[in-house]
Each structure stands twice: as structure tokens, then as C-alpha cells.
Amino acid sequence: MFCKKCRFPIEAEDLFCRRCGVETPAGKDAKVLVKPKLRRSRGDQKVAGVCGGVARYLHQDPKVVRALWAGAAVLPPFPGLFAYGVCWAVMPKETKKAKSSEAPREVVETKPLRG
């Protein structure tokens, strides 16, 4: 497969030509990228929902994030406790109760790469 503008060879799954940045047929179907927002979880919370929100943002199991955070909380000089308190104060709460697999998302438009 070749770019229609510069005739540079492209793969079928490429969204844009690597040489000139023109959108490919695959790129016409993928107009937006979805990026999860970092929010405290309402549906998957134990204390304040910080670990559940971080796990959803990182696409990880909340149990793993809680275990790592607990490990950081018990090691001196207790960075996990301080970080949890800061996240609790700074991270906004989800507006509605969501399932653990669902994440609030922000739509980001794609742009051709020029290079």
C-alpha cells in the first residue's frame, strides 16, 4: 500500500503517512483517541477511592495498586501515606458511580504528524 500524495510505502494499519502526514484510509475511521481522566473512584473504593481511580487510569487491577500503595505506606519515611493524602485532597471525585471497568474519558482529536 502506498501514500496517495507522496507514494511512500505505508502499512494497512497506519493512520497517517510517515513522510508527508496525509491521513490514510485507516486514519479516516479513527478520528478520535480516548484518554481516561484521573478521578477518585466511587464504585471501587475502600477508603477514599484513590487506589481505584489510579488503577482505572493505569488500566490495572485495583488489588495490585492497593498492595503496592500499602507497601509504600508502611516503609519509612511513609511516602505512601503522604501521597495518598495529597491525592485524596487534589483528585476530583467521579460525578456518578461507575463500574470498575468503565472510566470517565476525555476525547482528544488526532492531528497528522508532520516531519
Band of the pLDDT at 101, cuts 50, 70, 90? Answer: very low
How far apart CA 77 and CA 63 sit, in angstroms, is 23
Where does the chain show beta strands of DSSP type E? 32-36, 105-109
Do the domain assignments include residue 114? no
* Prediction pTM value: 0.54
Do the domain assignments include residue 70? yes
Residue 76: domain span: 31-109
Q: What is the mean pLDDT of the chain?
A: 78
How do residues 21-40 score in pLDDT, each as one tens digit? Answer: 888 877 666 655 556 788 88
Closest CA to 94 of 32, 35, 44: 44
Verify that 79 and 95 share a domain, yes or no: yes
Verify that 41 and 86 share a domain, yes or no: yes
Please state the rounded mean pLDDT for residues 57-73: 88
Verify that 96 and 73 share a domain, yes or no: yes
Indicate if the pLDDT at residue 74 is higher than 50: yes
Closest CA to 19 of 37, 1, 3: 3
C-alpha cell at 80: 505512601
Verify that 19 and 67 share a domain, yes or no: no
Verify that 6 and 40 share a domain, yes or no: no
- Note whether 115 and 107 are within 8 A (CB): no
